[in-house]
Amino acid sequence: MFIATLAVTALFALQQDAAPAAPAATTPKQAAPAAAAAPSRLSIGDPAPKLQYDEWIKGDKIDGIEKGKVHVIEFWATWCGPCITAMPHLSELQKKHPEAVVVSVAASERGPDEAAKISKVRSFVEGKGDTMSYRVVYVGDREKMSKPWMQAAGQNGIPCAFIVDKDSNIAWIGHPMSMDAPLAGVIDGTWDAAAAKKQQDTERAAMEMQRGVSMALREARQTGDYTKAIEALRKALAITPNDAMKMQLFGVLAGPGKQPDEAWKLGEEIYAAKKDDSASMNGLAWMIVDPDAGVEKPNLDLALRAAEAAVKNSKGAEGAMLDTLARVVYLKGDVARAIEIQKDAIAKTPAGNMREGMEKALAEYEAALKKA
């Protein structure tokens, strides 16, 4: 059994499907027209957008981003657990680097009432005390901060921090918990912004490829034609080689893509490269024999080698891997052996949905043996 199959299939749809941090609701006066142009892309090395706010919540007010000083602009929300977790660390960084101007921007509060949201943020910040030892502002108008900063930078989740260097350019974008070294480097002048931008561009290209794959797979599932999906997967793999995506391509080729020859060729490559990795081998075998995978003529020899490698590498201790091996052995015609392996799989699996599925498979094998 390959429980991670669904995770592999959905892996590259997550970035497309993941909901961005909920933006603050706007009043009719603030609402942008439907045809409003998307903000320009914001990248490392670009001039920082303006610092704007609707309500100053905590700390000494500043007029905006001041040239000659390093700034940290961090986006958060009262409902965001990871944001709250990062607050003590952000406070430590502000204390460690008092020359940096840290401004935390609450731009994703939920609800239609602006006054209520401001009051909620203010009460929250007051309750945190020294845990939030930095400046805090509230912004309800998406046009002021969310669009020119978060949306323009392609950031869909919070917390998210932007380091602005002394020339008022974006030097780094990322999670505030990962900001220590970049912030220290920007402050002392050793930060390599060009290298950071190169890495950012690579990551963005990979994300765009993943979105393209996700869209192509969605279309394929609707139309039944996987030609474009296979092409998208191949292009993505050529640019950003990835084991999970390679496995995904294998599953499409072997199943709904109906290109078994190509699938088995790729499967052999996966086997040769990952034969010592039990999870990969179990996944490869299960994608061949999964009753729901739609593989019309499964390569059972490849599946057997992969399943046996998975069991060997896991020292026969994983029920899910024994379950996969039992399915392969059953399909190859050795029903009695499949039953013994399946019983072992059940014995090594705790009660729950997985074990219930294994018991159903065992009943299937035992019924087939009786008919033989």
Contact in structure between 66 and 101 (CB atoms under 8 Å): yes
Round the average pLDDT of the chain to a whole number and report it: 88
pLDDT tens-digit readout, 99-147 = 999 999 999 999 999 999 999 999 999 999 999 999 999 999 999 999 9
- Packing angle between helix 300-313 and helix 319-331, nearest 10 degrees? 160
With 0-12 / 13-18 / 19 or more C-beta atoms within 10 angstroms meaning exposed / middle / buried, residue 241 is exposed
**Residues 198, 47: Cα–Cα separation, whole Å:** 17
**Residues 228, 219: Cα–Cα separation, whole Å:** 9
What is the distance between the terminal CA atoms of the chain, rounded to a whole angstrom?
25
Query: What pLDDT sits at residue 27?
Result: 30
Contact in structure between 246 and 273 (CB atoms under 8 Å): no
In total, the chain counts a number of residues equal to: 372
- Three-state helix/strand/coil letters over 228-273: HHHHHHHHHHHHCCCHHHHHHHHHHHHCCCCCHHHHHHHHHHHHHH
What does the domain layout of the chain look like in residue ranges? 18-191, 242-371
The answer to whether the 18-191 and 242-371 domains have the same CATH topology is no
Q: Cis omega before residue 159 (within 30°)?
A: yes
Top-confidence residue, 180 or 4: 180
Domain 242-371 class, CATH top level: mainly alpha
CA angle 179, 241, 198 (to 5 degrees): 40
Alpha helices in the chain (DSSP H): 5-10, 14-17, 81-96, 114-128, 180-188, 193-223, 227-239, 243-254, 260-274, 278-289, 300-313, 319-331, 335-347, 353-371
What average pLDDT does range 146-151 have in this prediction?
Answer: 96
Top-confidence residue, 35 or 234: 234
pLDDT cut 70: percent of the chain above it: 90
What average pLDDT does range 88-98 have in this prediction?
Answer: 96
Asked whether residue 232 carries a pLDDT value surpassing 60, the answer given is: yes
Q: Which CATH number fits domain 18-191: 1.20.210.10, 3.40.30.10, 3.30.460.80, 3.80.10.10?
A: 3.40.30.10
Query: What pLDDT sits at residue 242?
Result: 82
Query: What pLDDT sits at residue 13?
Result: 31
